[in-house]
Amino acid sequence: MHLHKIEEITILPGNNRNGDTENFNKITIKPGDTISVVGPTGSGKSALINDIEIFAKKDTNTKRTVLVNGDYPPEDFIRDPSKKPVALITQNTKCLADLSVENFLEMHVRSRKITDEKIIQETITLANEFTGEKIKPHVRMTSLSGGQTRSLMVADAIMISNAPIILLDEVENAGIFKEKVIECLKKHNKALIFVTHDPLVSLMSGRRIVMKNGAVEKILEPGEEEKEALSDIIQMDAALCSMRERIRAGEIIRSISLT
């Protein structure tokens, strides 16, 4: 099985925390799909994306199974980082390599046997579309901010790893432009799965998985039903973002513009 041949992944039900079987037949995810995973703290959101990341075979707490193209994936999908089709980016993603951004990307490009040297600058340029604080090629990886690191990891997943499935665990408030990231990932035909508490990210996703007590409780596909709410929330989010920038810049906030 080859990376670019991932047509779909399938999640088969496991158990909730009491050991009862989950209430769905299967969840199918294809390239280009956007899914948000929501639910209260401790409801099992991270456990669900962890199952996807490691292609669970009833061997995790949840007893779920995750298949690739209807079958168990080959071992090297799980064991060989260079063949892994899943990129997981979390709030805690840090890079401890004592290298400059440029050298780090060079190393990754070499390990992937990519010969086009332009890809390094292109990856940095893309990362800089996702973050307000521009990343310079000569800066050390360890001195990047959280937002810069996550932006670089998303850009790296798109340009260099070329992972078809991208899992984002609560990265929304961490100094990245979430709308730009979502648009860009959709354009590259990635399957995108977000664990999120953010209304904008939830409403921008095509499907919403609601978690409860360690299990998938509901799968919503609101489509047109949420169209108006989505356009309202885009405006509210823009207002919040501009207020956040003003606060960061040291302004006193006397009024809020919602238009």
How many residues bind to ligand ATP according to rule CB under 6 A? 16
Find, among 194, 189, 99, 118, the residue nearest to 160 by Cα: 118
Q: Is the Cβ of residue 17 or residue 188 nearer to ligand ATP in the bound state?
A: 17
Return the residue nearest ligand ATP (CB atom). Answer: 214
The yes or no reply on residue 41 touching ligand ATP (CB under 6 A) is: yes
Q: Is the Cβ of residue 15 or residue 103 nearer to ligand ATP in the bound state?
A: 15
Find, among 193, 237, 200, 198, the residue nearest to 219 by Cα: 193
Which residues have a Cβ under 8 Å from the Cβ of 59 and sit 6 or more positions away? none
| Residue of 6, 27, 29, 45 interacting with ligand ATP (CB under 6 A) | 45
Half-sphere exposure of 71 (CA within 13 A, CB side): 9
The yes or no reply on residue 44 touching ligand ATP (CB under 6 A) is: yes
The yes or no reply on residue 214 touching ligand ATP (CB under 6 A) is: yes
Q: What's the DSSP call for residue 220?
A: E
Which residues have a Cβ under 8 Å from the Cβ of 234 and sit 6 or more positions away? 179, 200
The yes or no reply on residue 39 touching ligand ATP (CB under 6 A) is: yes
| Residue of 11, 16, 109, 120 interacting with ligand ATP (CB under 6 A) | 16
Say whether 259 sits in a helix, a strand or coil: coil
Q: Is the Cβ of residue 40 or residue 70 nearer to ligand ATP in the bound state?
A: 40
| Residue of 3, 12, 15, 132 interacting with ligand ATP (CB under 6 A) | 15
Alpha-helical runs (H) found in 112-189: 118-130, 146-156, 178-187
Give residue 30's identity as a one-letter amino acid code.
K
* Residues in region 121-180 near ligand ATP by CB under 6 A: none
The yes or no reply on residue 93 touching ligand ATP (CB under 6 A) is: no
Q: State the minimum distance, in angstroms, from the CB of residue 235 to ligand ATP.
A: 27
Q: State the minimum distance, in angstroms, from the CB of residue 78 to ligand ATP.
A: 19
- CA 249/CA 242 separation, integer angstroms: 10
- Interface residue list for ligand ATP (CB under 6 A): 15-17, 39, 41-47, 61-62, 211, 214-215
